[in-house]
Structure 1
Amino acid sequence: MSSNTMIANRWTLGRVTRLALLSFGALLFLSPYVFMLSTAGKAQSEIFTSALSLIPTNFYYIENFTKALARVPMGTLLLNGILVCAMILFFQVLVAIPCAYAMAKLKFRAARLMMVLVMLGLLVPIHATALPLYVGFNSLSLLNSYTALVAPFSISVFAIFMFLQFFRAMPDDLIHAARLDGMSELGIVARVIVPNAWPAVTAFSIFSVVAHWNDLYWPLVVITRQEYATPPLGLMYFRAAEAGDDYGALMAATMIITIPLVAAFLLAQKRFVEGITMTGLKG
């Protein structure tokens, strides 16, 4: 087969169409970040000009980032975001792995009922339970605390469902061998299941961290003190300060908040794709 024929086969109409669609989708999803990066480097007068230019005429990145760091406690916001997301993820994984293992590998009467409850739990949004949760936290004097931010999300039915799919694909012989060696069920979870579940844990971690790092609704309900504010809520404080119309500095603050998520995803991209692929397998 000649080289020209190989090149022609490589660039078929279907392949070119798929590549064009993927490129368009990537451009569509990246456009807000490109606009944010562009606006973060512009002066206020340049942002509101009639001409649309992505490249700033005069670069104001240093000035805008300085304003963003000075007008809100950015370090506190980022630290709160890390603490809240880490605690939520820790409790979600701690609860979800044993539950998913029991439903996937153990036989008991309530297994089908638990599966139904998990599926129903996926249909209940946080907005439906916000009022009773708020009343409960207010009665316990737990508003404006890390407990109020973490407790409602410490059990994730999505995590249970995701790990359940992953554990079903694991061979039963591995579990039987561990039982023959005298391991208890908790020992199997700790020494057999968890070491083999890291792809699924990594994939779920990306979902969990992104969801709760970007969550504005629940912190807006339970937090009124700035020292407990998460990054999205901190942006509202930024707008409420004397810089409500300073969109260059606001975009700079938004960049500071989104960079950790982008970096975390790029570092865990391989494990994330592997985990998503393996959780789709059927045992």
Structure 2
Amino acid sequence: MTRLSLGRVLRLSLLSLGALIFLAPYLFMISTAGKAQSEIFSSSLALIPEQWSYVENFTKALSRVSMPTLLWNGVVVCALIFIVQVVVAIPCAYAMAKLKFRAARLMMVLVMLGLLVPIHATALPLYVAFDRLSVLNSYMALVAPFSISVFAIFLFLQFFRALPDDLIHAARLDGMSETGIVARVVVPNAWPAITAFAIFSVVAHWNDLFWPLVVVTNQEYATPPLGLLYFRAAEAGDDYGALMAATLIITLPLVAAFLIAQKRFVEGITMTGLKG
């Protein structure tokens, strides 16, 4: 009993230490968002501001850049990318998991190889293609390169393998087509995996700076991270208190989304590890 209690205390201590390490940058960001410029560059390091400047810094953050435009662009781009990725990935993963055809193993190899190719490797040819098509500074340029997600295919593939084959056979006996099985049987049972992938997809593309920096020069199409870059390049110089306030505004939707979908996220990650 003593060993069990000691082990539990040790695990909780390690988990608390890990949580503190991961939360430290966010706590520092919250602290800096409430400090005046002179206090930020002072020699003393304190989490609690001596003079609270939250109202001033958040006012600067909301007035110096078009924050509603940045947030709206982030929502539109992430939503479009996620919807297209799911629409493409679910039928592909279902075919590889539940249908028998000769190229199944080859497709699996291609999916695994696709996981190894970063966006940086294809950035130049994609940029040249979009430039010739005159679609730079548009939602299409921001969404199109990510419309096919090999990670989504791999994640859904693992989840669909755990679905009982009897469920699929029963649907076929009822006269359903493969499209109907995907829409009416597979998708309703795949919401945990879809929710888990949604967190991965939205976080990755909401925080992405590289690709928007390549294809966007018009602030009307700037995503949140690119908007922060414009914020720092303002004529007034680098006001880190206001910059941290703007960063808080941009990261809060992600934190709220994760807290709301936390249960489904954990369930989806757990179930995609099962094998049928």
**TM-score normalised per structure 1:** 0.96
Q: Distance in 2 between matches of 1:244 and 1:158?
A: 40
Say whether residues 1:64 and 2:57 are aligned partners: yes
Deviation at 1:20, TM superposition (A): 1.5
Q: Distance in 2 between matches of 1:174 and 1:244?
A: 62
Say whether residues 1:119 and 2:115 are aligned partners: no
After superposition, the C-alpha distances for 1:213-246 in whole angstroms (9 at most, x for unaligned) are 0000000000000000000000000001024321
Q: Distance in 2 between matches of 1:153 and 1:17?
A: 42
Runs of 4+ in 1 over 4 A off after TM superposition: none
* Aligned mate of 2:45, from 27, 39, 52: 52
Q: Distance in 1 between matches of 2:4 and 2:158?
A: 36
Say whether residues 1:255 and 2:248 are aligned partners: yes
Q: What is the CA RMSD across the aligned residues, in angstroms? A: 0.8
* Aligned mate of 1:154, from 122, 138, 147: 147
Instruction: Specify the alignment match of 2:159 in structure 1.
Output: 166
Say whether residues 1:97 and 2:97 are aligned partners: no
Say whether residues 1:190 and 2:183 are aligned partners: yes
Say whether residues 1:218 and 2:218 are aligned partners: no
Q: Distance in 1 between matches of 2:166 and 2:241?
A: 59
After superposition, the C-alpha distances for 1:135-155 in whole angstroms (9 at most, x for unaligned) are 000010010000000000000
Q: Distance in 1 between matches of 2:51 and 2:263?
A: 38
* Aligned mate of 2:28, from 20, 32, 35: 35
SS in 2 for 1:178: helix
Q: Distance in 1 between matches of 2:11 and 2:121?
A: 40
What amino acid is the match of 1:166?
F
Gaps of 5+ in 2: none
Q: Distance in 2 between matches of 1:245 and 1:217?
A: 21
Instruction: Specify the alignment match of 2:232 in structure 1.
Output: 239
Say whether residues 1:132 and 2:125 are aligned partners: yes
Deviation at 1:18, TM superposition (A): 1.7
Q: Distance in 2 between matches of 1:58 and 1:33?
A: 20
Say whether residues 1:26 and 2:27 are aligned partners: no
What amino acid is the match of 2:40?
I
**TM-score normalised per structure 2:** 0.99
Q: Distance in 1 between matches of 2:236 and 2:62?
A: 12
SS in 2 for 1:141: coil
Deviation at 1:15, TM superposition (A): 2.1
Deviation at 1:9, TM superposition (A): 5.4
Instruction: Specify the alignment match of 1:272 in structure 2.
Output: 265
Q: State percent identity of aligned pairs.
A: 82
Gaps of 5+ in 1: none
Q: Distance in 2 between matches of 1:275 and 1:146?
A: 29
Q: How many positions carry a matched residue from both structures?
A: 276
Q: Distance in 2 between matches of 1:244 and 1:136?
A: 35
* Aligned mate of 1:81, from 42, 54, 74: 74
Deviation at 1:58, TM superposition (A): 1.2
Which is worse superposed, 252-261 or 242-251?
242-251
Q: Distance in 1 between matches of 2:70 and 2:5?
A: 49
* Aligned mate of 1:206, from 192, 199, 216: 199
Q: Distance in 2 between matches of 1:55 and 1:270?
A: 33
Q: Distance in 2 between matches of 1:263 and 1:75?
A: 17
Q: Distance in 1 between matches of 2:41 and 2:249?
A: 23
